[in-house]
Chain A
Amino acid sequence: MELTTILFLILSLISIGSAVMMLMSRNPVYSVLWLILLFFTISAHYLMLNAQFLAVVNIIVYAGAIMVLFLFVVMLMNLNADTEPMKNYRLQLVGVIAGGSLLLILVSAVMKIENNQPVMLMVGDYGLIKVLGKTLFQKFVLPFEISSILFLSAIIGAMVIAKRDTPSQITKGETEKRSS
């Protein structure tokens, strides 16, 4: 067996195991931590597929920013294992069966493919920042600029949604606090 095959198998086992553990753990904080481990293994997969820039971006954006946001929200809500109410085991069984049959169908469809091309690992330099940056700023300038508008609208939307109260309610609450 080649070294890359062994590496692929180990990384895949870790990523599938951490994905399952993310589902199984009762405490949401542990789920977030397992998901961070999963993102690190996916970054390692990117490295093996010559996507070095994407690997770094995956760690910075997903493990660094998004998951910290999740952890922040989980800790802000003070969720722990007892928060989730008693679950219905029969419904869970139905969910697992549905997911398993989806996997069965998809995998059996994929196994029918005759054209099984090899993926040459660790060859080429098109994942480097130099190449990707040229592509991004020459060919994909317009989508890049549009994504900045998307971010602006996301910021404004998040602030509008998460605002505590309407101004009239705030003043009402303050007057109630003063009177009490």
Chain B
Amino acid sequence: MDIKAYIVLALILFTIGVTGVLIRRNAIIIFMCIELMLNAVNLLLVAFSKMHAMSAVAKASPTFASDAQIFVFFIMVVAAAEVTVGLSIIMLLYRNTRSVDVNFLNRLKY
């Protein structure tokens, strides 16, 4: 497999996420699109680590490819922490407005 195939796949997934943020108005769907973008970037990072795993730099240091996967691991950690806070903010929004439409939020207050 060429690296370009993985780049194009990750770009398509990322762009679908961007388009979702632009066209949907449900706050939960927008949040899920952000998760989709994070996952596209994760996939790209893993593909790049695999691409460089056979290079000369990787031969010099044995943990070269695992380092890149630790990166992805920490992105997942931050995403999990982000989801809890974000969903609680959405819950707060729903409790105050009885809706999850982001168009209600155009004044930064409810």
B9 touches A12 (CB 8 A): yes
Task: Closest A residue to B53 by CB, please name it.
Answer: A124
- As a 0/1 sequence over residues 4 to 29 of chain B, the CB contacts with chain A under 8 angstroms (1 = contact) are 11111101110111111011111011
- Residues of B bordering A, CB below 8 Å: 1-9, 11-13, 15-20, 22-26, 28-29, 31-33, 35-36, 39, 42-43, 46-47, 49-51, 53-54, 63, 65-67, 69-70, 72-74, 76-85, 87-92, 94-95, 99-101
A157 to B25, CA, bound (A): 25
What residues of B have a CB within 8 angstroms of the CB of A28 in the complex? 26, 28-29
Given A28-B29, A134-B63, 18 extra CB contacts under 8 A: A8-B5, A16-B12, A22-B32, A23-B16, A46-B46, A49-B46, A50-B53, A57-B76, A66-B83, A85-B101, A98-B18, A99-B15, A126-B63, A131-B63, A135-B63, A147-B74, A150-B77, A158-B85
A113 to B35, CA, bound (A): 28
Q: How far is the CB of A131 from chain B (nearest CB, A)?
A: 5
Given A77-B100, A107-B11; A57-B32 close (CB under 8 Å): no
A139 within 8 A of B: yes
Interface extent on A, as a size class?
35 or more
Given A15-B9, A23-B20, A57-B76; A119-B3 close (CB under 8 Å): yes
